[in-house]
Amino acid sequence: MFSLLNIRVGFYLAVRQLRRASLWTTGLIVFVMLLTFLNLVVVTGILVGLIEGINESYRTQYTGDVILSALPTKNYIEDTSSVVAFVKTLPQVALLAERYQTGATIEANYLSRTSSTEKPNATGAQIVGIDPVAEDAFTGLSSHLIDGTYLSERDYDQILVGNLLLAKYAFGNQPGLTPLTDVSPGTKVRLTVNGSVREVFVKGVIKSKIAPLAASIFIPAAELRMLMGRTDQNVAQIVIRLILGSDPDEFKSLLLKSGIGEKAKVQTFTDSIPNGVADIKTTFAMLGNGFSSIGLVVAAITIFIVIFINAITRRKFIGILKGIGISGEAIEISYVFQSLFYASIGSAIGVLVLYGVLVPLVAAHPIDFPFSDGILVAPIDGTAIRIGLLVLTTVIAGYLPSRMIVRRNTLDSILGRN
Amino acid sequence: MIEVKNLVKSFKDGPLETRVLKGIDFTAATGEFIAIMGRSGAGKSTLLYQISLLDEPTSGEIRINGRDTRAMSEREKMLFRLSEFGYVFQDYALLPELTALENVALPLYMQGASRAAADAKAVTALERVGLGKRLDNLPSQLSGGEQQRVSISRAIAHTPNVLFADEPTANLDTESSATVMSIFKKLHEDGQTIIMVTHEDDFLRFAERVVKLDDGKIVSDPR
């Protein structure tokens, strides 16, 4: 069937039919192809990007590229100062921040309680002791402030509170959390850490889509150490940002080889993300592929209809072609080439729109989902596979109707008989 | 040489069967210019479609240069139509998106000629019918007479053994019809075998043999 001669003649016919086809019709078909391509790539890309957004938020706002945390049997990283000193000597390291961490209770309106049976306006939370300047440089914590002001190193009775801990800023009920009512910047609250109680003021409210920030209390490290009754400098977390192009997995291996693993748990940011998130990512990718498949079927049907209508309206000319001796295969191939053209041009424009507009646009202005800042994930290899699928589907969808028409009786086609 | 023996063509429409050709015996020798005449519904176009291998007879035998066409596959018939026959249809049957040159060159291209060779032959064929200056015109940019001349060029460009013409002047004005018939006359003088269906008495003088059909049967044939 696909002899070189048939391909040559098919191509000859296809080029001329396309060149002299109605610009509107061609434009419409290419537009359908473009939308199908975007549907194939963007729907999955946004669904996966929604979860990638969570990953990215964890990396930029919390864990950095690599996070060292206390071993399961310890509350802190042993010999923190030597670990930090070693890590700082490594050329891959761009930034580093240290955090103390423990459990705490925060209570408001305790002075107005009238009886011991009255339910206290209190909640439990994780309290994080930070160097405000280093933490801000690392995670941009101050940029997440939605009310009040940021901590300074000299603050001794000031805290920042995650929005999920305050009813006024929580925007809905959060499972497992009892947000404090009537608390905003300037409110005095009672903080209990390891049995130590201190009255502090809420200096600011942090809002984030990732739980470790949104459900935590932040206080200068020195104050937390005091509350915890700690005299050593051993922290609970060391977060590390690598210079651009460094591989977190390689860096993790390097740390483990150097023996850091005996003092701290070493994880890349992907390791530290809860397993459920990875499962959701897989689920969303499956959903995206499902939606894309439907899009692909719709595109196939569209092209089938378009080519079928084109072929049926040109049935007489197909009959003439066959009548003067043009092979049916060459005629079918001409329709295959036309379908290929529509799919290729649609995909090519789609690639330009995708990588020239959508990906950079969504990267610059992430989609504001309730639990993540969604980005558009469109890896080149995945896009190439989808283009291949689209082209293949389109070619089949173009070939079948042309074959149906070409197989009809030549004379019936010429004379327009049914 | 075309030999037709006891050719029958019927059309079925449910239980109804209409016999259009009722046992035709007919021969056409190389170099003849035959006009098939008859009133509307006599079966002349149907006969032309059978002997030009555009349609399949219900029964009977057609031999072309001694070869029984019943034994031919669809592909063989297609190749036969491509290389041995030329067709001129009543409504010109040109492809609207192809220029005059491309319409004529396409069958040559299908025969395996290179683009340059096909185009050169097509130009010669178009010049032969006086359309050397309308090569790049689309059919829609040509008059009916000019379109029919392009159709004739397409039919003769590959120097076929037989040229079939189905009412070639039916859609043309008197002047264009005369031009077309004079082209046929010239082709015949050059040795081209022509089998033409027509119902116009005016053009019978161009043919050297007139076969008359009525009700699916040959009623008059000088041979």
Which residues in chain A touch residue B154, judged by CB atoms under 8 angstroms apart? 324
Is B217 strand, coil or helix? Answer: strand
Mean pLDDT on A126-147: 94
Is the CB of residue A26 less than 8 Å away from at least one CB of chain B? no
Whole-angstrom distance, CA of residue A346 vs CA of residue A348: 6
pLDDT > 90? residue A206: yes
Q: Tell me if B97 and A21 make a contact (CB, 8 A cut-off).
A: yes
Say how many C-beta atoms besides its own lie within 10 A of residue B189's C-beta.
9
Best mutation site among A316, A317, A324 for testing chain B: the one with the most B CBs within 10 Å? A324
The reply to whether ipTM tops 0.85 is yes
Most confident among A324-338, A356-370, B196-210 (mean pLDDT): A324-338
pLDDT band at A288 (very low <50, low <70, confident <90, very high): confident
State pTM to two decimals. Answer: 0.76
Query: What does residue A363 show for φ and ψ, rounded to 5 degrees?
Result: -65, -40
Query: What does residue B129 show for φ and ψ, rounded to 5 degrees?
Result: -100, 15
- For A55, what's the count of Cα atoms within 13 Å in the CB-facing half-sphere? 19
DSSP secondary structure letter of residue B142: S
- Residue A210's pLDDT is what? 83
Mean per-residue pLDDT over chain A, rounded: 88
- Residue A55's pLDDT is what? 81
- Segment among A253-262, A396-405, B138-147 with least mean pLDDT: A396-405
* CB-nearest partner of B54 from A5, A317, A411: A411
- Residue A265's pLDDT is what? 94
> With contact defined as beta carbons under 8 Å apart, do A225 and A100 qualify?
yes
How many CB pairs below 8 A link A and B?
64
**pLDDT tens digits along B52-83:** 999 999 999 999 988 999 989 988 999 999 99
Which residues in chain A touch residue B48, judged by CB atoms under 8 angstroms apart? none
- Residue A173's pLDDT is what? 63
Which residues in chain B touch residue A411, judged by CB atoms under 8 angstroms apart? 49, 54-55
**Per DSSP, what are the bridge partners of residue A374?**
A367
- Residue A284's pLDDT is what? 79
- Residue A104's pLDDT is what? 93
**pLDDT tens digits along A26-73:** 898 899 889 888 888 888 888 888 878 888 888 888 889 999 999 988
Q: Tell me if B82 and A330 make a contact (CB, 8 A cut-off).
A: no
Mean per-residue pLDDT over chain B, rounded: 92
pLDDT band at B110 (very low <50, low <70, confident <90, very high): very high
Task: Give the C-alpha distances (Å, rounded to integers) separating B58 from A283, B11, B30.
Answer: 63, 9, 26
- Residue A171's pLDDT is what? 66
Is the CB of residue A8 less than 8 Å away from at least one CB of chain B? yes
* CB-nearest partner of B106 from A21, A326, A411: A326
How far does the CA of residue B101 sit from the closest CA of chain A (Å)? 13
pLDDT band at A283 (very low <50, low <70, confident <90, very high): confident
> What residue of B is the nearest CA neighbor of A409?
B55
Most confident among A171-175, A278-282, B109-113, B177-181 (mean pLDDT): B109-113
pLDDT > 70? residue A175: no
> What residue of A is the nearest CA neighbor of B50?
A411
Whole-angstrom distance, CA of residue A38 vs CA of residue A351: 9
pLDDT > 80? residue A116: no
> With contact defined as beta carbons under 8 Å apart, do B25 and B47 qualify?
no
Query: What does residue A315 show for φ and ψ, rounded to 5 degrees?
Result: -55, -40
Whole-angstrom distance, CA of residue A37 vs CA of residue A343: 9
